[in-house]
Structure 1
Amino acid sequence: MDNERIAHCLALSQRARSQQGQGEAQAATLAELEAALQALQPAPVIAPAGAELMLDAAGYLTAWNEGAERLFGYRASEALGQHVLFLYAGDDEDGDIAELVDADHAVIDVRRRKKSGEVIRVRLNITLLRDSAGQPSGMRVLIAPMVEGLSAREKTKLHARIIEDSDQGVLITDAHERIVSINSAFTRITGYTAAEALGKTPDMLRSGVPGADFPARVSAAMKGAGPWRGEIIGRRKNGELFPQAVTVSAVRDEDGAIRHTFSLFSDISVHKDAEARMQRLANYDTLTGLPNLGLLSQLLGQAMTEARRKQEHGALLVIEINRLGAIADTLGHEVGNAVLLEVGRIFRLVLRDEDILARLDGGKFAAALPQIEKREHAAIVAQKLMAALEAPLQIGAHRLQLSAHVGVAVYPEDAQDAAELVRGADAAMSRVVPGQVPALLFYSEEMNQRAKEHLRIESELRLALANKELLLYYQPKVSLRSGRIVGAEALLRWRHPVRGLVSPGVFIPVAEETGLIYELGNWVLEEACRQIAAWRDANLMMPPIAVNLSARQFDSHLPERVADVMARHHVHPEQLMLEITESLLVRGAENVIAIMNELVAMGLSLALDDFGTGYSSLAYLKKFPISTLKIDRAFVVGLPFEENDCAIARAIVTMAKQLRQEIVAEGVETIEQMGFLRELGCDQLQGYLFSQPIAAADFERMLREGKRLAVSGRQATLSL
Structure 2
Amino acid sequence: MDKDRIAHCLALSQLARGQQGEAQAATLAELEAALWGMQPAAQATPVAAQLMLDHLGYVTGWNEGAEQLFGYPAAEALGQHVLFLYAEDDEDGDIAEMGGHAVADVRRRKKSGETIRVRLDIALLRDETGQPDGMRVLVAPLVEGLTLQEKTRLHARILEEGDQGVLITDGQERIVSLNSAFTRITGYTAPEALGKTPDLLRSGLPDADFPARVKAAMAGAPPWRGEILGRRKDGELFPQAVTVSAVRGEDGAISHTFSLFSDISVHKDAEARMQRLANYDTLTGLPNLGLLLQLLGQAMTEARRKQEHGALLVIEINRLSAISDSLGHEVSNSLLVEVGRVLRQVLRDEDILARLDGGKFAAALPQIEKREHAAIVAQKLIAALEAPIQVGTHSLQVSAHVGIGVYPEDAQEASELVRGAEAAMSRVMPGQAPALLFYSEEMNQRAKEHLRIESELRQALANKELLLYYQPKVSLRSGRVVGAEALLRWRHPVRGLVSPGVFIPVAEETGLILDLGNWVLEEACRQIAAWRDANLMMPPIAVNLSARQFDNQLPQRVADVMARHQVPPEQLMLEMTESLLVRGADNVIAIMNKLVAMGLSLALDDFGTGYSSLAYLKKFPISTLKIDRAFVIGLPFEENDCAIARAIVTMAKQLRQEIVAEGVETIEQMSFLRELGCDQLQGYLFSQPIPAADFERMLGEGKRLAVTGRQSTLAL
Partner of residue 256, structure 1 = 252
Measure, in 2, the Cα distance between the counterparts of 1:305 and 1:473. Answer: 46
Partner of residue 694, structure 2 = 698
SS of residue paired to 2:690: coil
Q: Find 1:646's aligned residue among 619, 642, 647.
A: 642
Partner of residue 492, structure 1 = 488
SS of residue paired to 1:390: coil
How far the C-alpha of 1:621 sits from its partner, in A, is 2.2
Measure, in 2, the Cα distance between the counterparts of 1:97 and 1:693. Answer: 111
TM-score (norm 1): 0.81
SS of residue paired to 1:577: strand
CA shift digits 1:459-507 (9 cap, x unpaired): 0000000000000000000000000000000000000000000000000
Partner of residue 565, structure 2 = 569
How far the C-alpha of 1:148 sits from its partner, in A, is 7.2
CA 1:212–1:280 in 2, change beyond 3 Å: closer, same or farther?
Answer: farther
Structure 1 unaligned spans of 5+: 1-6, 10-46, 51-62, 73-86, 88-95, 102-106, 111-119, 124-145
Q: Find 2:538's aligned residue among 542, 550, 556.
A: 542
Measure, in 1, the Cα distance between the counterparts of 2:449 and 2:185. Answer: 67
How far the C-alpha of 1:663 sits from its partner, in A, is 0.2
Counterparts of 1:450-489 in structure 2 under 5 Å? 450-489=446-485
Q: Do the aligned partners of 2:480 and 2:704 also contact (CA within 8 Å) in 1?
A: yes
Partner of residue 7, structure 2 = none
SS of residue paired to 1:262: strand
Measure, in 2, the Cα distance between the counterparts of 1:629 and 1:567. Answer: 27
Structure 2 unaligned spans of 5+: 1-39, 43-68, 73-80, 97-103, 108-114, 119-141
Measure, in 2, the Cα distance between the counterparts of 1:261 and 1:49. Answer: 50
CA 1:452–1:658 in 2, change beyond 3 Å: closer, same or farther?
Answer: same
CA 1:659–1:97 in 2, change beyond 3 Å: closer, same or farther?
Answer: farther
Report whether the alignment pairs 1:339 with 2:335.
Answer: yes
Partner of residue 305, structure 2 = 309
2:151 counterpart letter in structure 1: K
Report whether the alignment pairs 1:243 with 2:229.
Answer: no
CA 1:680–1:191 in 2, change beyond 3 Å: closer, same or farther?
Answer: same
2:303 counterpart letter in structure 1: A
Q: Do the aligned partners of 1:190 and 1:235 also contact (CA within 8 Å) in 2?
A: yes
CA shift digits 1:533-573 (9 cap, x unpaired): 00111111011000000000000000000000001111000
Counterparts of 1:421-440 in structure 2 under 5 Å? 421-440=417-436
CA 1:619–1:554 in 2, change beyond 3 Å: closer, same or farther?
Answer: same
Measure, in 1, the Cα distance between the counterparts of 2:485 and 2:84. Answer: 125
CA shift digits 1:39-80 (9 cap, x unpaired): xxxxxxxx9999xxxxxxxxxxxx9x9889x969xxxxxxxx
Which shows bigger deviation, 709-718 or 506-515? 709-718
How far the C-alpha of 1:717 sits from its partner, in A, is 3.8
Counterparts of 1:86-485 in structure 2 under 5 Å? 149-209=145-205, 211-485=207-481
Which shows bigger deviation, 390-399 or 648-657? 390-399
How many equivalent pairs are there? Answer: 609
CA shift digits 1:287-335 (9 cap, x unpaired): 1000000000000000000000000000000001100110011011111
CA 1:429–1:147 in 2, change beyond 3 Å: closer, same or farther?
Answer: closer
CA 1:533–1:255 in 2, change beyond 3 Å: closer, same or farther?
Answer: same
1:180 counterpart letter in structure 2: V
1:702 counterpart letter in structure 2: M
Counterparts of 1:53-72 in structure 2 under 5 Å? none
Partner of residue 663, structure 1 = 659
Partner of residue 590, structure 2 = 594
Partner of residue 129, structure 2 = none
Q: C-alpha root-mean-square deviation of aligned residues, in Å?
A: 2.8
CA shift digits 1:645-700 (9 cap, x unpaired): 11110110011001100000000000010000000000000000000000000000
How far the C-alpha of 1:210 sits from its partner, in A, is 6.1
2:393 counterpart letter in structure 1: A
Measure, in 2, the Cα distance between the counterparts of 1:571 and 1:257. Answer: 91
Measure, in 2, the Cα distance between the counterparts of 1:374 and 1:591. Answer: 28
How far the C-alpha of 1:167 sits from its partner, in A, is 1.2
SS of residue paired to 1:623: coil
Measure, in 2, the Cα distance between the counterparts of 1:8 and 1:71. Answer: 25
How far the C-alpha of 1:255 sits from its partner, in A, is 2.1
Measure, in 1, the Cα distance between the counterparts of 2:649 and 2:409. Answer: 44
Measure, in 2, the Cα distance between the counterparts of 1:506 and 1:395. Answer: 43
Measure, in 2, the Cα distance between the counterparts of 1:632 and 1:716. Answer: 22
Which shows bigger deviation, 634-643 or 154-163? 154-163
Measure, in 1, the Cα distance between the counterparts of 2:285 and 2:397. Answer: 24
2:513 counterpart letter in structure 1: I
Taking only the aligned residue pairs, the percentage that are identical comes to: 84
How far the C-alpha of 1:100 sits from its partner, in A, is 11
SS of residue paired to 1:580: strand
Measure, in 2, the Cα distance between the counterparts of 1:331 and 1:147. Answer: 74
Measure, in 2, the Cα distance between the counterparts of 1:554 and 1:48. Answer: 104
Q: Do the aligned partners of 1:679 and 1:714 also contact (CA within 8 Å) in 2?
A: no
SS of residue paired to 2:345: helix
Report whether the alignment pairs 1:633 with 2:629.
Answer: yes
Q: Do the aligned partners of 2:705 and 2:712 also contact (CA within 8 Å) in 1?
A: no
How far the C-alpha of 1:712 sits from its partner, in A, is 0.9
Partner of residue 501, structure 1 = 497
How far the C-alpha of 1:716 sits from its partner, in A, is 3.4
How far the C-alpha of 1:122 sits from its partner, in A, is 12
1:427 counterpart letter in structure 2: A
How far the C-alpha of 1:98 sits from its partner, in A, is 9.8
How far the C-alpha of 1:390 sits from its partner, in A, is 1.4
2:374 counterpart letter in structure 1: A
Q: Do the aligned partners of 2:460 and 2:466 also contact (CA within 8 Å) in 1?
A: yes
Measure, in 1, the Cα distance between the counterparts of 2:508 and 2:262. Answer: 58
Q: Do the aligned partners of 1:210 and 1:232 also contact (CA within 8 Å) in 2?
A: no
Which shows bigger deviation, 178-187 or 429-438? 178-187
Which shows bigger deviation, 460-469 or 397-406? 397-406
Q: Do the aligned partners of 2:486 and 2:541 also contact (CA within 8 Å) in 1?
A: yes
Measure, in 2, the Cα distance between the counterparts of 1:714 and 1:456. Answer: 49
SS of residue paired to 1:386: helix
CA 1:150–1:108 in 2, change beyond 3 Å: closer, same or farther?
Answer: closer
Measure, in 2, the Cα distance between the counterparts of 1:536 and 1:409. Answer: 55
Measure, in 1, the Cα distance between the counterparts of 2:193 and 2:368. Answer: 57
Measure, in 2, the Cα distance between the counterparts of 1:706 and 1:210. Answer: 74
Partner of residue 532, structure 1 = 528
Partner of residue 611, structure 1 = 607
Q: Do the aligned partners of 2:585 and 2:616 also contact (CA within 8 Å) in 1?
A: no
1:270 counterpart letter in structure 2: V
Q: Do the aligned partners of 1:671 and 1:718 also contact (CA within 8 Å) in 2?
A: no
Measure, in 2, the Cα distance between the counterparts of 1:404 and 1:452. Answer: 18
2:263 counterpart letter in structure 1: D
SS of residue paired to 1:624: coil
CA shift digits 1:373-394 (9 cap, x unpaired): 0000000000000111111112
SS of residue paired to 2:227: strand
CA 1:171–1:537 in 2, change beyond 3 Å: closer, same or farther?
Answer: same
Q: Find 2:704's aligned residue among 696, 702, 708.
A: 708
CA shift digits 1:555-598 (9 cap, x unpaired): 00000000000011110000000000000001011110000000
